[in-house]
């Protein structure tokens, strides 16, 4: 009689069906209006939405940010006012004062509830004003606040041109990132550089990243002979990348599943399913996957990754052997956990508001592989976690660090648990080889703070005060 061999245990997934303890997705305006420099964002919602935006983006007294709030009054909600006339009045004012290349309407929960037909109003008003109007329903019905960007990029993907310009000079003019890389160079040098690229199908990357990170990742691919044909979003709306049928696309963030689906179904692009370029390990895996799709042998990546890890050793010494617990907030949890496990940490649980297993398939496989190579238990992934249950588990597990939303940070700190705001990883530069240090700077900050308190002897005073 043969005895069945035990199968290796894989990742376990649970769904606790708790509430979504995250910001509202309209907060995506905070970084998108800065990224797309010729845009204007009009958020259509109630005063509550306006108050939230003020808090999320700061009160800019002297600045003139390219976003505004179209506040719905009782007359709008009871359908006594004409939506088209009101939006036309606002958009005419925006055109007169700012003259943007595109106006993005951000629909909120209220526009969903009262069935405001933004998609029906936009084309008519667009034709009348002569300015493109993109409709994105980035409302609170989404799972995480980062998915606001996903909705906007999915709407913009439909607007990308479907034909590449014929002339080579026009091609450079359309490709903003190539124009940036060629800035200040002689024409002969540019021609020489172009000849160094391998012969591969066009590649477009999607995800909103700061310009230095965009340049960095583009250059990393250039070292492998891979040419990036464009980024979505581009720095300017007028420079949106060309998306022809059969173009290859790759994402840089785990929360862009809707954009990926739109690119595949609506634009007939081919998605490269790769881990995300967060941490040296993720960046190397991301580049290697793109190279493998284009039949290019990657070169120098092992040395590049080893060089980065050597430069992180001072931070890694602080967290090696410690444990980290993710409560779930921004959909970056799996990628960050994988990187921190590679740094020598253990992670008993990854809470995540929503898990798209198809889009994050390569990242999940890399997480599993990382745990096996580091000899640590696989984390449990809890989708839509119930925070009450999570806090009970935190008390039992006693992790060295909890990465959580802002709402739970102070209560946990008051109970002697080290925390880090997950939202900080959203706004920090975390992608690529060179930004791995910034991730560890954030992760180790509460641990370094506690070490400093111990050196000063303040931790004893705090304990004595707690007894009193």
* pLDDT, tens only, 114-129: 888 899 999 999 999 9
Residue 409 pLDDT class (50, 70, 90 cuts): very high
d(CA 150, CA 28): 9
Mean pLDDT estimate for the chain: 87
pLDDT at residue 50, rounded to an integer: 87
User: What pLDDT, in 10s, does the model give residues 316-336?
Assistant: 999 999 999 999 999 999 999
The annotation status of 49 as a binding-site residue, yes or no, is yes
106: confidence class by pLDDT, cuts 50, 70, 90: very high
Mean pLDDT of 293-309: 95
- At residue 168 the predicted structure's pLDDT band, cuts being 50, 70 and 90, is very low
52-64 pLDDT, tens digit per residue, is 888 776 655 555 6
Query: What would the mean pLDDT of 194-207 be, rounded to a whole number?
Result: 88
Angle at 105 between CA 50 and CA 205, to 5 degrees: 115
Residue at token pair 């240090």: 437
For the chain, percent of residues with pLDDT exceeding 90:
68
Is residue 74 predicted with pLDDT exceeding 60?
yes
Q: Tokens representing 284?
A: 């190397």
DSSP assignments along 420-467, one per residue? EETHHHHHS--BSSTTHHHHHHHHHHHHHHHHHHHHHTHHHHHHHHHH
Is 347 annotated to bind ligand? no
**Residue 139 to residue 148: CA distance in whole angstroms:** 7
CA-based nearest residue to 294, from 205, 213, 242, 227? 227
pLDDT at 363: 97
| Contact in structure between 205 and 232 (CB atoms under 8 Å) | yes
Q: How many angstroms separate the CA atoms of 69 and 335, rounded?
A: 34
Decide if pLDDT at 190 tops 80: no
Peptide bond into 233 cis (omega under 30): yes
Tokens of 357: 């297993």
Q: Is 24 annotated as a binding residue?
A: yes
Return the percentage of the chain with pLDDT > 70, whole number.
Answer: 85
For the stretch 250-272, pLDDT in tens is: 999 999 999 999 999 999 999 99
The answer, yes or no, to whether residue 459 has pLDDT greater than 70, is no
- Alpha-carbon distance 223 to 432, whole Å? 14
């Amino acid at each position: 009689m043969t005895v069945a061999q035990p199968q290796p245990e894989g990742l376990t997934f649970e769904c606790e069906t708790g509430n979504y303890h995250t910001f509202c997705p309209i907060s995506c305006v905070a970084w998108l209006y800065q990224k797309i420099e010729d845009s204007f964002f009009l958020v259509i919602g109630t005063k509550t939405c306006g108050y939230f935006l003020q808090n999320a983006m700061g009160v800019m007294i002297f600045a003139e940010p390219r976003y505004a709030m179209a506040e719905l009054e009782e007359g709008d909600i009871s359908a006594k006012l004409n939506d088209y006339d009101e939006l036309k009045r606002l958009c005419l004012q925006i055109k007169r004062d700012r003259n943007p290349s595109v106006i993005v309407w951000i629909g909120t929960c209220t526009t969903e509830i009262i069935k405001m037909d933004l998609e029906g109003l936009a084309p008519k008003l667009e034709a009348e004003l002569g300015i493109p109007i993109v409709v994105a329903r980035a409302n609170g019905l989404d799972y995480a606040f980062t998915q606001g960007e996903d909705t906007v990029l999915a709407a913009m993907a439909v607007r990308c041109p479907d034909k590449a310009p014929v002339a080579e000079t026009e091609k450079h003019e359309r490709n903003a990132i190539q124009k940036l890389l060629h800035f200040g160079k002689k024409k002969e040098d540019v021609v020489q550089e172009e000849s160094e690229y391998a012969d591969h199908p066009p590649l477009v990357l999607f995800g909103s990243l700061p310009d230095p990170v965009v340049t960095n990742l583009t250059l990393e691919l250039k070292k492998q002979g891979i040419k990036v044909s464009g980024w979505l979003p581009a720095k300017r709306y007028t420079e949106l990348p060309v998306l022809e049928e059969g173009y290859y696309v790759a994402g840089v963030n785990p929360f862009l599943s809707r954009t990926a689906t739109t690119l595949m179904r609506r634009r007939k692009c081919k998605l490269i399913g790769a881990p995300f370029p967060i941490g040296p390990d993720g960046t190397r895996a991301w580049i290697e996957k793109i190279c493998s799709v284009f039949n290019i042998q990657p070169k120098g990546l092992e040395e590049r990754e080893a060089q980065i890890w050597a430069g992180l050793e001072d931070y890694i010494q602080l967290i090696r052997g410690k444990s980290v617990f993710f409560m779930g907030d921004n959909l970056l949890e799996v990628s960050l956990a994988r990187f921190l496990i590679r740094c020598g940490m253990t992670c008993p649980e990854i809470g995540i508001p929503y898990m798209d297993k198809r889009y994050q398939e390569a990242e999940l496989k890399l997480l599993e592989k990382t745990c096996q190579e580091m000899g640590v238990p696989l984390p449990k992934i809890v989708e839509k976690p119930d925070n009450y249950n999570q806090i009970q588990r935190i008390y039992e597990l006693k992790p060295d660090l909890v990465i959580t939303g802002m709402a739970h940070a102070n209560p946990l700190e008051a109970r002697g648990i080290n925390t880090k705001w997950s939202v900080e990883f959203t706004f920090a530069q975390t992608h690529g080889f060179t930004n791995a240090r910034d991730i560890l700077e954030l992760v180790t900050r509460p641990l370094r703070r506690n070490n400093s308190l111990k050196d000063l002897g303040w931790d004893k005073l705090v304990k004595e005060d707690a007894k009193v």
